[in-house]
Protein backbone atom coordinates (compact mmCIF):
# COMPACT_ATOMS: atom_id res chain seq x y z
CA UNK A 1 0.00 0.00 0.00
CA UNK A 2 1.22 3.47 -0.87
CA UNK A 3 1.71 5.97 1.98
CA UNK A 4 -0.77 8.83 2.29
CA UNK A 5 0.46 12.36 2.97
CA UNK A 6 -1.84 14.98 4.49
CA UNK A 7 -1.01 18.69 4.42
CA UNK A 8 -3.60 20.98 6.02
CA UNK A 9 -3.69 23.27 9.06
CA UNK A 10 -4.68 22.04 12.48
CA UNK A 11 -7.13 20.99 13.80
CA UNK A 12 -8.15 19.64 10.40
CA UNK A 13 -4.90 17.72 10.02
CA UNK A 14 -5.46 15.65 13.17
CA UNK A 15 -9.10 14.98 12.28
CA UNK A 16 -8.22 13.79 8.78
CA UNK A 17 -5.25 11.77 10.03
CA UNK A 18 -7.37 9.99 12.64
CA UNK A 19 -10.04 9.19 10.04
CA UNK A 20 -7.47 7.97 7.52
CA UNK A 21 -5.75 5.72 10.05
CA UNK A 22 -9.11 4.23 11.00
CA UNK A 23 -9.49 3.40 7.29
CA UNK A 24 -6.26 1.43 7.46
CA UNK A 25 -4.07 3.98 5.69
CA UNK A 26 -0.39 4.64 6.37
CA UNK A 27 -0.55 8.36 7.21
CA UNK A 28 2.32 10.84 7.03
CA UNK A 29 2.68 14.58 6.51
CA UNK A 30 2.21 17.62 8.72
CA UNK A 31 -0.05 20.67 9.00
CA UNK A 32 2.40 22.60 6.73
CA UNK A 33 0.78 25.82 7.95
CA UNK A 34 0.54 27.72 11.23
CA UNK A 35 -2.69 29.66 11.71
CA UNK A 36 -2.38 33.13 13.20
CA UNK A 37 -4.97 35.88 13.79
CA UNK A 38 -4.99 39.16 11.88
CA UNK A 39 -6.44 42.48 13.09
CA UNK A 40 -10.05 43.03 12.11
CA UNK A 41 -13.06 45.13 13.05
CA UNK A 42 -16.50 43.70 13.69
CA UNK A 43 -19.26 45.63 11.86
CA UNK A 44 -22.61 46.45 13.35
CA UNK A 45 -24.69 43.26 13.63
CA UNK A 46 -27.85 45.20 12.73
CA UNK A 47 -26.56 45.46 9.15
CA UNK A 48 -26.73 41.69 8.59
CA UNK A 49 -29.10 38.75 8.59
CA UNK A 50 -26.50 36.12 9.40
CA UNK A 51 -22.88 34.99 9.28
CA UNK A 52 -21.31 32.71 6.67
CA UNK A 53 -18.37 30.66 7.95
CA UNK A 54 -16.22 28.14 6.11
CA UNK A 55 -13.76 27.18 8.86
CA UNK A 56 -13.73 26.62 12.60
CA UNK A 57 -10.54 28.73 12.65
CA UNK A 58 -12.81 31.78 12.61
CA UNK A 59 -13.91 30.99 16.16
CA UNK A 60 -10.45 29.94 17.34
CA UNK A 61 -8.72 33.10 16.16
CA UNK A 62 -11.42 35.78 15.93
CA UNK A 63 -10.93 36.98 19.50
CA UNK A 64 -13.28 39.00 21.68
CA UNK A 65 -14.65 41.02 18.77
CA UNK A 66 -16.75 38.00 17.86
CA UNK A 67 -18.85 38.66 20.96
CA UNK A 68 -20.38 41.65 19.18
CA UNK A 69 -21.90 39.32 16.58
CA UNK A 70 -23.32 36.47 18.68
CA UNK A 71 -26.94 37.46 18.06
CA UNK A 72 -26.55 36.65 14.36
CA UNK A 73 -27.19 33.05 13.22
CA UNK A 74 -24.19 31.24 11.78
CA UNK A 75 -24.45 29.35 8.50
CA UNK A 76 -21.58 26.89 8.89
CA UNK A 77 -19.85 24.86 6.19
CA UNK A 78 -19.96 21.63 8.23
CA UNK A 79 -20.50 20.02 11.61
CA UNK A 80 -17.04 20.83 13.02
CA UNK A 81 -17.49 24.51 12.20
CA UNK A 82 -21.03 24.49 13.60
CA UNK A 83 -19.79 22.95 16.85
CA UNK A 84 -17.08 25.61 17.14
CA UNK A 85 -19.72 28.30 16.59
CA UNK A 86 -21.88 26.94 19.39
CA UNK A 87 -18.93 26.77 21.76
CA UNK A 88 -18.24 30.43 20.97
CA UNK A 89 -21.79 31.37 21.96
CA UNK A 90 -23.47 31.51 18.54
CA UNK A 91 -26.68 29.93 17.34
CA UNK A 92 -26.37 27.89 14.15
CA UNK A 93 -28.90 28.62 11.45
CA UNK A 94 -27.83 26.09 8.84
CA UNK A 95 -25.11 23.45 8.62
CA UNK A 96 -23.88 22.54 5.18
CA UNK A 97 -22.24 19.55 3.59
CA UNK A 98 -20.03 19.52 0.53
CA UNK A 99 -18.50 22.98 0.59
CA UNK A 100 -19.38 26.61 1.20
CA UNK A 101 -20.81 27.11 -2.29
CA UNK A 102 -23.35 24.33 -1.73
CA UNK A 103 -24.33 25.90 1.58
CA UNK A 104 -24.84 29.27 -0.08
CA UNK A 105 -26.87 27.69 -2.89
CA UNK A 106 -29.17 26.17 -0.26
CA UNK A 107 -30.05 29.72 0.80
CA UNK A 108 -31.13 30.65 -2.73
CA UNK A 109 -34.51 32.29 -2.99
CA UNK A 110 -34.08 34.37 0.17
CA UNK A 111 -33.22 38.04 0.49
CA UNK A 112 -30.17 38.01 2.79
CA UNK A 113 -27.26 40.26 3.67
CA UNK A 114 -24.57 37.97 5.08
CA UNK A 115 -21.27 38.66 6.79
CA UNK A 116 -18.59 36.21 5.69
CA UNK A 117 -15.88 35.60 8.29
CA UNK A 118 -12.88 33.97 6.67
CA UNK A 119 -9.14 33.50 6.32
CA UNK A 120 -6.91 35.22 3.79
CA UNK A 121 -7.04 32.16 1.52
CA UNK A 122 -10.65 31.50 0.63
CA UNK A 123 -12.73 30.20 -2.23
CA UNK A 124 -14.55 32.58 -4.56
CA UNK A 125 -18.31 32.21 -4.19
CA UNK A 126 -21.06 32.64 -6.77
CA UNK A 127 -23.82 34.64 -5.09
CA UNK A 128 -27.43 33.57 -5.71
CA UNK A 129 -29.88 36.30 -6.63
CA UNK A 130 -31.02 38.21 -3.58
CA UNK A 131 -28.00 37.39 -1.44
CA UNK A 132 -25.32 39.96 -0.64
CA UNK A 133 -22.10 39.08 1.16
CA UNK A 134 -19.52 41.29 2.88
CA UNK A 135 -16.24 39.72 4.01
CA UNK A 136 -13.98 40.21 7.02
CA UNK A 137 -10.60 38.47 7.25
CA UNK A 138 -9.83 37.11 10.73
CA UNK A 139 -6.78 34.87 10.26
CA UNK A 140 -4.04 33.80 7.90
CA UNK A 141 -2.16 30.55 7.27
CA UNK A 142 1.62 30.99 7.54
CA UNK A 143 3.39 28.30 5.48
CA UNK A 144 5.96 25.91 6.96
CA UNK A 145 8.39 23.60 5.17
CA UNK A 146 8.25 19.88 4.48
CA UNK A 147 9.80 17.83 7.24
CA UNK A 148 12.96 15.86 6.44
CA UNK A 149 11.30 12.50 7.06
CA UNK A 150 8.41 13.38 4.75
CA UNK A 151 10.78 14.49 2.01
CA UNK A 152 12.59 11.15 2.21
CA UNK A 153 9.33 9.22 1.88
CA UNK A 154 7.94 11.44 -0.88
CA UNK A 155 11.10 10.87 -2.92
CA UNK A 156 10.00 7.22 -3.18
CA UNK A 157 6.40 8.07 -4.06
CA UNK A 158 2.93 7.97 -2.55
CA UNK A 159 -0.40 9.75 -2.52
CA UNK A 160 -0.91 13.35 -1.40
CA UNK A 161 -4.41 14.50 -0.37
CA UNK A 162 -5.01 18.22 -0.87
CA UNK A 163 -7.88 19.97 0.91
CA UNK A 164 -7.27 23.51 -0.39
CA UNK A 165 -5.66 25.66 -3.02
CA UNK A 166 -3.23 27.00 -0.45
CA UNK A 167 -2.06 23.46 0.33
CA UNK A 168 -1.71 22.69 -3.38
CA UNK A 169 0.45 25.75 -3.96
CA UNK A 170 2.58 25.07 -0.91
CA UNK A 171 3.21 21.43 -1.80
CA UNK A 172 4.14 22.47 -5.34
CA UNK A 173 6.63 25.03 -4.01
CA UNK A 174 8.17 22.55 -1.57
CA UNK A 175 8.56 19.86 -4.24
CA UNK A 176 10.40 22.31 -6.47
CA UNK A 177 12.52 23.69 -3.62
CA UNK A 178 13.74 20.23 -2.64
CA UNK A 179 14.01 18.78 -6.14
CA UNK A 180 11.37 16.11 -5.55
CA UNK A 181 9.95 14.24 -8.55
CA UNK A 182 6.26 15.05 -8.96
CA UNK A 183 5.79 12.09 -11.30
CA UNK A 184 6.27 9.67 -8.40
CA UNK A 185 3.28 11.11 -6.54
CA UNK A 186 -0.45 10.87 -7.23
CA UNK A 187 -2.73 13.66 -6.00
CA UNK A 188 -6.20 13.33 -4.51
CA UNK A 189 -7.76 16.79 -4.55
CA UNK A 190 -10.96 18.14 -3.07
CA UNK A 191 -12.07 20.07 -6.16
CA UNK A 192 -11.16 21.27 -9.68
CA UNK A 193 -9.75 24.59 -8.44
CA UNK A 194 -7.28 22.72 -6.23
CA UNK A 195 -6.26 20.48 -9.13
CA UNK A 196 -5.55 23.54 -11.26
CA UNK A 197 -3.46 25.19 -8.54
CA UNK A 198 -1.39 22.03 -8.04
CA UNK A 199 0.15 22.44 -11.47
CA UNK A 200 1.50 19.87 -13.92
CA UNK A 201 3.83 16.89 -13.78
CA UNK A 202 2.20 14.69 -11.12
CA UNK A 203 1.83 10.96 -11.63
CA UNK A 204 -1.94 11.43 -11.74
CA UNK A 205 -4.46 13.92 -10.38
CA UNK A 206 -7.86 12.67 -9.17
CA UNK A 207 -10.73 14.87 -7.96
CA UNK A 208 -13.14 13.82 -5.21
CA UNK A 209 -16.80 13.25 -6.12
CA UNK A 210 -17.84 15.93 -3.62
CA UNK A 211 -15.86 18.63 -1.77
CA UNK A 212 -15.77 16.99 1.66
CA UNK A 213 -13.11 15.38 3.84
CA UNK A 214 -14.80 11.96 3.80
CA UNK A 215 -15.08 11.95 0.01
CA UNK A 216 -11.46 13.05 -0.38
CA UNK A 217 -10.17 10.37 1.97
CA UNK A 218 -12.25 7.69 0.25
CA UNK A 219 -10.62 8.70 -3.04
CA UNK A 220 -7.17 8.68 -1.43
CA UNK A 221 -7.83 5.21 0.03
CA UNK A 222 -8.46 3.82 -3.44
CA UNK A 223 -5.29 5.42 -4.80
CA UNK A 224 -3.19 4.14 -1.93
CA UNK A 225 -4.35 0.59 -2.64
CA UNK A 226 -3.25 0.66 -6.28
CA UNK A 227 -0.18 -1.32 -7.24
CA UNK A 228 2.91 0.95 -6.99
CA UNK A 229 4.35 -0.87 -9.98
CA UNK A 230 1.24 -0.14 -12.05
pLDDT of residue 193: 87
Rounded Cα distance between 82 and 90, Å, is 9
- Select from 3.20.20.450, 3.50.50.60, 3.40.1160.10, 3.40.50.10090 the CATH code of 4-32+144-224: 3.40.50.10090
Rounded Cα distance between 119 and 96, Å, is 18
Per the rule left: phi > 0, alpha: psi between -120 and 50, beta: everything else, 157 is left
- Select from 3.40.50.10090, 3.40.1190.20, 3.40.50.2300, 3.40.1010.10 the CATH code of 35-142: 3.40.50.10090
Mean pLDDT of 179-197: 95
- At 128-147, the pLDDT tens digits run 999 999 999 999 989 999 99
Return the higher-pLDDT residue of 227 and 226: 226
Which regions of the chain carry the CATH code 3.40.50.10090?
A: 4-32+144-224, 35-142
For residue 10, the tally of other CB atoms under 10 A from its CB is 14
Confidence of residue 59 (pLDDT cuts 50, 70, 90): very high
- At 75-105, the pLDDT tens digits run 999 888 999 999 999 999 999 887 888 899 9
Amino acid sequence: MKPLFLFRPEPGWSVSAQTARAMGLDVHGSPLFTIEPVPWDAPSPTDYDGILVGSANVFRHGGKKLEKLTKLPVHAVGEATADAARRAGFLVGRTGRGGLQNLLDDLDGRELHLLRLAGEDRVTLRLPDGIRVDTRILYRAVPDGLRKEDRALLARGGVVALHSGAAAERVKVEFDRHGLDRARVDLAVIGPRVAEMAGEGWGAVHTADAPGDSELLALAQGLCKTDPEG
